[in-house]
Structure 1
Amino acid sequence: MDRNLSAGLLAALSAAFIGSAWQLVSRHGVTTTLGPMELALMRYGIPALLLAPLWFGRRRIATKGARMARVLLVVGGGLPFGLLVLAGAQWAPASHMGIFMAGSLPLFTAIGARLHKGQAVGGLRLLGLGCIALGMVLFAVGSFRGGTLDWRGDLLFLVAAMLWAMHSLAFAQCGLTPWQGAAFVNGWSALLLLPVLAFAGAPRLLSAPWPDIALQASMQGVVAGLLGLVVYMVAVARLGAARASLSAALVPVLTTLGAAWWMDEPVTPAVLVALALVVPGIVLASGAVRWRVKQARPAA
């Protein structure tokens, strides 16, 4: 196997496990002792401090891409994305986060690649996108009929997935290494967070139990904010945005199982139907599976 391909696949697999763990921990945090602002402070403040040396010295960050690409890199993978997810986690269960965020990522990535690069989608990829769309529509209908506020979180998850797709496509245009990209996104996100904190504050940070703060600081700041962003950028750099999004196929399953085990979230028939459509849809939409047409041999 090609070395770049194997490294990309390993990075994509790591990104899937980290992404699922971040979803579970975020849902637990905003429904117990902490809120979105407290988690956002740890999610972007800690890695910004850890990666601060990359902003200075001879090897400091020097972006080569267009300004709009840099803006989309921060908006799509930084503070706006994080606040949408953390706010949505207050209303919708973790399984919804896995299905709507990870499921719609290949869909939005394909739309972005079509608009930006003119890449056509057909064959099995189009079939996969159709499965994803059908699974999420059926799941969304169930959320509306349930009479709960889950649909608010689902909508925020969809917008967050759209932003993350922009982040993936913009990274290739910025001329940054994965570590530089993580420093760039977290650094600017931390700066953007300062005026938001001045207005809203983070009052629960002083009243929450220390074990909860330690869990969130390690998962939000180090595992997700630092390692998760880096390994996903490695996957995009080695595999491309479309193939890297294949890692999203594992996230809905991992998050649903993890939420059932850790937070006693029920695995409903609606969740199973959505997974049965979305997960194969992600695999097909990634372009990893293609038709193999055998050419007829000429007659002797």
Structure 2
Amino acid sequence: MFNIHKAWGLLMGLAAAIIGGGWQVATRHATATGLSPIAPDDLIILRYGVPALLLLPIIWRSGLLPRHVDRRMLLLMLVGAGVPFGFAAMSGTRFAPTSHMGVLMAGASPLIAAGLAWWVWREIPNGTRRMGMAFMLAAVMLLGAQTLVDWSASTWRGDLLFLLAALLWAGYAVTFKRTGLSPWHAAALVNVWSFLLVIVWIAARGGTQLLSAPMSTLAWQVIWQGLLAGVLGLWAYSVAIERLGAAPAAAFGALAPAISAVGGWWWLGDSLTALDLVSVSAAVIGVVLASGVWPAYRR
């Protein structure tokens, strides 16, 4: 029987994955343009500043500390999707190739989220979803096999930052629904709180070089970092969590490395090997099995 509630969650999970994969490609593109070499620090301003300004009216009505929200859950949610996540993800590109970003961050996050959902909330996946997670793990390992070949003495720092970002993003997945917030309200809180921290960061480091970037590059990054990733991506992901649950929604993250690989081939001219195509196929199969198309989690 067709379930519009669940179908909308699946559609939003797919949208979040597409935006997430595109965000990775856009971030890689930024590090090779006029924003470089300080792109991670400057991109974080766009990533949280633009959404904060757009969503400020929501916070104006509700305040920065909603009364009905558990403070611990709120803190975990803000850390998981806010500026700590952004700094970990973007700073990792200083040490490791950005191709590792898709594999170790977006690819590992669904698996971490499933583990956290089991450990914290005792959400036990059925056999179909366990099979899906196995396909997702295979996709991550296949993509990682070739991206880790260029490992160096400094690469491990970036890889650890990407894994930290994956853990934080998974933390958002398992805490958002417990806050009782709407997707728009959660997106507003994450971005406004993060931008307040970014303002402190800008003051401490003595300003930004964003204004020296080419206007075309700046406008493109405003769209990707601020509007798509910061507003629509986070909102779509939150809707998917609300409709499907934490682990099924997070499963869509396994598509992000595949989308990133295809997007890098189409937009940046990156090579797309037969191994890439196999891993993309494994990721798609894994998401179909693990995202909730089949029976839900047993409680």
If the length of structure 1 is used for normalisation, what is the TM-score? 0.85
- The answer to whether the 8 Å contact 2:100/2:147 transfers is no
1:146 alignment partner, one of 143, 146, 150: 150
In structure 1, how many angstroms separate the alpha carbons of the residues matched to 2:195 and 2:216?
Answer: 24
When residues 144 and 222 of structure 1 are mapped into structure 2, their CA distance, relative to the original with a 3 A threshold, is: closer
1:160 alignment partner, one of 165, 169, 173: 165
In structure 1, how many angstroms separate the alpha carbons of the residues matched to 2:292 and 2:10?
Answer: 14
In structure 2, how many angstroms separate the alpha carbons of the residues matched to 1:58 and 1:48?
Answer: 14
Partner of 1:80: 84
Aligned length: 291
Partner of 1:126: 130
When residues 147 and 118 of structure 1 are mapped into structure 2, their CA distance, relative to the original with a 3 A threshold, is: closer
When residues 60 and 74 of structure 1 are mapped into structure 2, their CA distance, relative to the original with a 3 A threshold, is: closer
- The answer to whether the 8 Å contact 2:100/2:148 transfers is no
Identity of aligned residues (%): 41
1:6 aligns with 2:7: yes
- The answer to whether the 8 Å contact 2:13/2:236 transfers is yes
Which of the two has higher C-alpha Rg? 1
Q: Alpha-carbon deviation of 1:244?
A: 1.6
In structure 1, how many angstroms separate the alpha carbons of the residues matched to 2:75 and 2:292?
Answer: 28
- The answer to whether the 8 Å contact 1:18/1:228 transfers is yes
In structure 1, how many angstroms separate the alpha carbons of the residues matched to 2:160 and 2:279?
Answer: 16
Partner of 2:263: 258
Deviations 1:239-292 (A, max 9, x none): 21222224324322221111012112222455445445444334434353469x
Q: Alpha-carbon deviation of 1:172?
A: 0.7
1:46 alignment partner, one of 47, 50, 56: 50
Deviations 1:37-63 (A, max 9, x none): 111111111111111111223798725
AA at the equivalent of 1:180:
H
In structure 1, how many angstroms separate the alpha carbons of the residues matched to 2:176 and 2:43?
Answer: 24
Partner of 2:23: 22
When residues 7 and 282 of structure 1 are mapped into structure 2, their CA distance, relative to the original with a 3 A threshold, is: closer
Partner of 2:117: 113
In structure 2, how many angstroms separate the alpha carbons of the residues matched to 1:274 and 1:154?
Answer: 20
Q: Alpha-carbon deviation of 1:223?
A: 1.6
- The answer to whether the 8 Å contact 2:101/2:162 transfers is yes
Unmatched tracts of structure 1, length 5 or more? 292-300
Partner of 1:234: 239
- The answer to whether the 8 Å contact 2:258/2:283 transfers is no
AA at the equivalent of 2:204:
F
Q: Alpha-carbon deviation of 1:216?
A: 1.0
When residues 43 and 244 of structure 1 are mapped into structure 2, their CA distance, relative to the original with a 3 A threshold, is: same
1:212 alignment partner, one of 206, 213, 217: 217
- The answer to whether the 8 Å contact 1:143/1:150 transfers is no
If the length of structure 2 is used for normalisation, what is the TM-score? 0.85
When residues 195 and 59 of structure 1 are mapped into structure 2, their CA distance, relative to the original with a 3 A threshold, is: closer
When residues 31 and 127 of structure 1 are mapped into structure 2, their CA distance, relative to the original with a 3 A threshold, is: same
1:225 alignment partner, one of 222, 226, 230: 230
1:181 aligns with 2:182: no
1:102 aligns with 2:106: yes
- The answer to whether the 8 Å contact 1:27/1:86 transfers is no
Deviations 1:221-245 (A, max 9, x none): 1121111111111111112122222
Unmatched tracts of structure 2, length 5 or more? none
